[in-house]
Chain A
């Protein structure tokens, strides 16, 4: 019994502090509490498995450690600490939620581990002056500019805003309101914040109906967006009132849950399912077949682009992968990501990074695409309204 216990303790200690030369360790912390969230994680795992099956990167295999942070900052911070100090990873990917990515930036900065963000849009993430953080998705500062301009130029200034209590939705919606106020001198006709898990928005919608706005904008996660759209028709707001939503409207469950209510809704995102480029068509059919997804949203494309960028950077980095050189390898990977310039994958625009720890260098993609739903349901259809590359300084 004593021998068994000793063996277990020794094995545990070895496992906790172990690291293997010739292996690139990557830790990913993501929100995997929804069906799609799990599929984003699964896709990352599958892509790295495929890289390993092709012989790895410069002959080195990639080990992905995938953890769920449930969109909770304390769990995300614990995951990041585990990756940085216990698993001794070379790179951290994460997180999905802005409220988790924000504190992780401080952990990775202190531990000096490069961090690359797959989905979070909150503009504060890259304003923390960390030399170790990179963002693949479009920052909220770009999204708000594009949506505000489209509303003002093409729709009208009488806009009602409702937004849920999640960091990304608040950041996007309040940014648009601020943009409309500062640039066009327009105040919202209605503004309200809802609870994160609130599902009945009819009290807001009835008030909005009486105000007869040109447009209604909803900021939130995918399920609340779908419910909001359905309920907007239930209370009798006519189809002539334009519906707009935050970038989470790109996620596949929105048209699936909202059905016909999603028709005409526009949003800005980093990728459109209706993209006609061959690479996009190939990617769409791959994701549909492999993960059983009707329409492919930008969280899939961003996760995919992130892996390709990581693959490029790891390929260019001079890594020894010896335990003693962990800090040097981490720095080399950081510098290699900073050297990624003009990457053109699935994203709406090229993704470029640079060495400075400023948002200009670390917000990789600045080309939001304005997308409109043409049909809802499982096999939804979308069309591209516009594609705008924002000035690099925009929103700073």
Chain B
């Protein structure tokens, strides 16, 4: 099993050395026939939902994992993305390709509003401020008739391209899956960029970062806006998926805790961890659907347990595994070199 994992990792490393986008292209090709391998349409629906959750969790990871900002308002940005698409589609008859960028833009503008308190607040205080924002958005939607209030907004049209509607779940998969891959790739690109390094500097020590010439406020704000981009994207994709219905009950604190769990379980700041967390949590939530009362208890216990016993999450364990493998390999290599020096032929040693 270990050799298999190492083999896969090595294979992708080699592909990346040929072209950075090659592994992603292969992942896309491998995932394309996925709906054909599912047993039924419900599983395709679940895969689509997982893709949306991956985008949402990846976005949260940028602000929380990369930049270290404690936010619990991410679900409000998701709601803003979803409701912008819903309003544009149902009240103005706009098509998906217009709704998607506008929803992202709306979420990004809201992301600026959420990000501003981070200039002065940190930790629990920032969490409270963003929680208040999330609650305010939910309440505002719930009491605004134009936004469907407590009845929600239905009849959001499925995306249409050249007259072909992506109303079926397996058609929708071909939209949501490539977008998800692109979003995860972009997240890696951000992490590797100067911006990503600035985020991490801000996360580790804002004062040191500032002393090194990093504009802390600017990068905090960029992190919130980038994170909002992902939330708006996820929200719009959620709104346009069958049945094309959004309701304030889908954007509550419980949903926020669920997304948070994905990131915490996967490993805060670990992109693959967030992806794995989104997959695991969505599947576990689905399997435990019949045990509603115990589900929240389970989620809470997993968060506490992860923080106590696995602070770097599943991603941390995977990272440690690869680090250990590299360490062992390096140690063996060094030992072989030493053996070569010590046990080499007299001719070689004499020079």
Residues of A within 8 A of B (CB): 13, 16-17, 32-33, 67-68, 70-75, 77-79, 81-82, 84-86, 88, 98-99, 102-107, 110-111, 122, 124, 128, 164-167, 169-171, 193, 195-196
Q: Are B247 and A85 in contact (CB under 8 A)?
A: no
State the Cβ distance, A254 to closest chain B Cβ, in Å: 20
How many of chain B's residues touch chain A, expressed as a range?
20 to 34
Q: Are A106 and B244 in contact (CB under 8 A)?
A: yes
Q: Chain B residues with Cβ under 8 A from A71's Cβ?
A: 249
Set A13, A82, A170: member contacting B150, Cβ < 8 A:
A170
Q: Are B149 and A77 in contact (CB under 8 A)?
A: no
Roughly how many angstroms separate A123 CA and B45 CA in the complex, as a whole number? 28
Q: Which residue of B lies closest to A79 (CB)?
A: B289
State the Cβ distance, A4 to closest chain B Cβ, in Å: 15
Report if A32-B42 is in contact (Cβ < 8 Å); known contacts: A106-B244, A166-B150, A196-B150: no
State the Cβ distance, A191 to closest chain B Cβ, in Å: 12
Roughly how many angstroms separate A106 CA and B245 CA in the complex, as a whole number? 9
- B40-59: which residues lie under 8 A (CB-CB) from chain A? 40-43, 45-46, 49
Q: Are B151 and A196 in contact (CB under 8 A)?
A: no
16 contacts between A and B (CB under 8 A): A13-B39, A68-B289, A70-B292, A72-B247, A74-B250, A81-B41, A81-B42, A99-B150, A99-B151, A99-B152, A103-B243, A103-B247, A104-B243, A122-B151, A166-B150, A195-B139
Roughly how many angstroms separate A178 CA and B248 CA in the complex, as a whole number? 25
Q: Are A86 and B42 in contact (CB under 8 A)?
A: yes
Roughly how many angstroms separate A33 CA and B291 CA in the complex, as a whole number? 11
Q: Which residue of A lies closest to B255 (CB)?
A: A74
Q: Chain B residues with Cβ under 8 A from A102's Cβ?
A: 151-152, 154, 245
Q: Chain B residues with Cβ under 8 A from A67's Cβ?
A: 289-290
Roughly how many angstroms separate A169 CA and B143 CA in the complex, as a whole number? 13
Q: Chain B residues with Cβ under 8 A from A32's Cβ?
A: 292
Set A78, A105, A128, A193: member contacting B45, Cβ < 8 A:
A78
Q: Chain A residues with Cβ under 8 A from B245's Cβ?
A: 73, 77, 102-103, 106
Number of A-B contacts (CB under 8 A): 110
State the Cβ distance, A26 to closest chain B Cβ, in Å: 16
Q: Are A84 and B42 in contact (CB under 8 A)?
A: yes
Set A106, A107, A193: member contacting B143, Cβ < 8 A:
A193
The yes or no answer to B28 lying at the interface (CB within 8 A) is no
Roughly how many angstroms separate A74 CA and B292 CA in the complex, as a whole number? 14
Q: Chain B residues with Cβ under 8 A from A166's Cβ?
A: 150
Q: Are A73 and B42 in contact (CB under 8 A)?
A: no
The yes or no answer to B167 lying at the interface (CB within 8 A) is yes
Set B152, B167, B286: member contacting A110, Cβ < 8 A:
B167
The yes or no answer to B142 lying at the interface (CB within 8 A) is yes
Q: Chain B residues with Cβ under 8 A from A106's Cβ?
A: 154, 242-245
Report if A98-B151 is in contact (Cβ < 8 Å); known contacts: A74-B250, A110-B167: yes
State the Cβ distance, A204 to closest chain B Cβ, in Å: 14
Given contact pairs A74-B247, A122-B151, A124-B151, enumerate 15 new A-B contacts (beta carbons under 8 Å): A72-B250, A77-B243, A78-B286, A82-B42, A85-B45, A88-B40, A99-B249, A106-B243, A110-B243, A165-B143, A165-B150, A167-B151, A193-B143, A195-B143, A196-B142
Q: Chain A residues with Cβ under 8 A from B154's Cβ?
A: 102-103, 106, 124, 128
Roughly how many angstroms separate A164 CA and B40 CA in the complex, as a whole number? 39
Q: Which residue of A lies closest to B251 (CB)?
A: A74
Q: Are A167 and B152 in contact (CB under 8 A)?
A: yes
Set B46, B149, B247, B289: member contacting A73, Cβ < 8 A:
B247
Q: Chain B residues with Cβ under 8 A from A74's Cβ?
A: 247, 249-250
Q: Chain A residues with Cβ under 8 A from B168's Cβ?
A: 110
Q: Chain B residues with Cβ under 8 A from A88's Cβ?
A: 40
Q: Are A16 and B40 in contact (CB under 8 A)?
A: yes
Set A73, A85, A104, A169: member contacting B41, Cβ < 8 A:
A85
Roughly how many angstroms separate A110 CA and B49 CA in the complex, as a whole number? 18
- B118-158: which residues lie under 8 A (CB-CB) from chain A? 139, 142-143, 149-152, 154
Set A17, A107, A169: member contacting B243, Cβ < 8 A:
A107
Q: Are B244 and A73 in contact (CB under 8 A)?
A: no
Q: Which residue of A lies closest to B167 (CB)?
A: A110
Q: Are A110 and B242 in contact (CB under 8 A)?
A: yes
Roughly how many angstroms separate A71 CA and B248 CA in the complex, as a whole number? 11
3 closest Cβ contacts across the A-B interface? A106-B243, A103-B245, A85-B41
Q: Of residues B41, B289, B290, which shows the largest number of chain A Cβ atoms within 10 Å of its Cβ?
A: B289
Q: Chain A residues with Cβ under 8 A from B39's Cβ?
A: 13, 16-17, 86
Q: Which residue of A lies closest to B49 (CB)?
A: A78
Roughly how many angstroms separate A105 CA and B244 CA in the complex, as a whole number? 11
Set B41, B150, B244: member contacting A167, Cβ < 8 A:
B150
Roughly how many angstroms separate A81 CA and B245 CA in the complex, as a whole number? 14
Q: Which residue of A lies closest to B41 (CB)?
A: A85
State the Cβ distance, B285 to closest chain A Cβ, in Å: 9
Q: Chain B residues with Cβ under 8 A from A73's Cβ?
A: 152, 245-247, 249-250
Q: Chain A residues with Cβ under 8 A from B286's Cβ?
A: 78
Q: Interface digits, B147-181 against A, CB 8 Å rule (1 contact, 0 not)?
A: 00111101000000000000111000000000000
Q: Chain A residues with Cβ under 8 A from B150's Cβ?
A: 99, 164-167, 169-170, 196
Q: Chain A residues with Cβ under 8 A from B142's Cβ?
A: 165, 195-196
Q: Chain B residues with Cβ under 8 A from A111's Cβ?
A: 41
Q: Chain B residues with Cβ under 8 A from A16's Cβ?
A: 39-40, 43
Q: Are A170 and B151 in contact (CB under 8 A)?
A: yes
Q: Chain A residues with Cβ under 8 A from B244's Cβ?
A: 103, 106
